[in-house]
Structures are given as structure tokens and as C-alpha cells.
Amino acid sequence: MNGAIGRTKARKAENQEEENVGRSVFLACDSGSAENIFIPLQALLDEYTAWRSVKMIISDTAAVNTCHRNGVVARLQRQFRQKGLDEPQFIIGCQHHIFDLVLLH
């Protein structure tokens, strides 16, 4: 595994409010680069064999997430294809961030 995974700490917290929600997971990354976000996310999905559970990807509209070649979403899409899985049906930008962009321009 990549050294970035060792430096990245996945903090897991039980969600006590709803029984069906299970766990909330927050990834602390060394930097905001697409690679430093994707690698621990990939490791987390692998650790919990959760690839088949992903139905939707929602992210803010920052280039690090949405860049069509090496953004986090593009990397996730490649992993789904490499694993022979269907890609999530909905890949959308966070509506709060989209509205913020509209209001700023």
C-alpha cells in the first residue's frame, strides 16, 4: 500500500441517532490533492468491501473533485470499471456549492 495511507487517519464514529445509518466515516488527508483524497477513500472502500454499496457520488465542485482526468470522481469511476462494477448512477455537485457559484457570478 501507498505510504499516504499510513499517514492518513480514518476516524470512525458510530452514529447513535439512527440505527440504519451505521457508521459515519471522516477521512483526514495530508493535503487537498486528488491523490491524497482518493488513496485513503479507496483504502476505506476496500477495507469494508463497500464498492458495491456506493450508489451516488456527491462532491463540491472544486477541480480536485471534478477534473475529468484525474479528479477524485474520475479516479473513482476508473476503479469501478477496473473492478467490473457499475458506476454510481448519480454523480452530482453539492447544490449548496452550485448555488454559491451562481450567486457569485
The CATH number of the domain where 17 resides is what? 3.30.1180
Question: pTM for this one?
Answer: 0.68
Q: How does DSSP assign 16-71, residue by residue?
A: -S-TTT-EEEEEE-SSSSHHHHHHHHHHHHHHTT-GGG--EEEE-S-HHHH-TTTS
**Domains in the chain, number:** 1
Average pLDDT by stretches of 10, the chain with 105 residues: 41 42 70 92 93 88 89 94 89 70 71
- Structural domain boundaries, residue 81: 3-104
Amino acid at 68: H
Q: What is the pLDDT of residue 19?
A: 47
